Structure 1
């Protein structure tokens, strides 16, 4: 249930050049990851290769808890996946 009491959550991910990603759940957080395209000429920040975006949503507040990019200027990171590690 979202913060306004609705039984759904809408996550808006740009569909331009969107590649398959994954969704995971751990300790009250919902994790999304997907492949993002390389930056267009003049964009800042500049990602010269396709890369992976990761966002963690706190399910108590339905707000972004963290966001990161997995990238390297010389290598492509694609076909992202998330998984819970058992301890």
Structure 2
């Protein structure tokens, strides 16, 4: 299972803290937070530590996101803002 949040200025605090905690408490193993930084998308990837039920950072991706878990995926992040 994967939860993805796209951060807006209005939701930044909630997405970075409250939702991160709530998803961890719910046992969701993967959490990605997408933010716009200097006009480009940046994806913060977290993986759940089962025993502590807290997320550990697993990477920050710019340009291209390649992950083998929770499924093998590659995304050209630069196309996200262009809508292509």
Larger radius of gyration: 1
Higher relative contact order (CA 8 A, sep 6+): 1
Please confirm whether the aligned pair reaches a TM-score higher than 0.5, indicating the same fold: no
Name the TM-score class by shorter chain: 0.3 to 0.5
* TM-score, normalised via structure 2 length: 0.38
Structure with a larger share of its residues in strand = 2
Q: TM-score, normalised by structure 1?
A: 0.37
Richer in helix (by share): 2
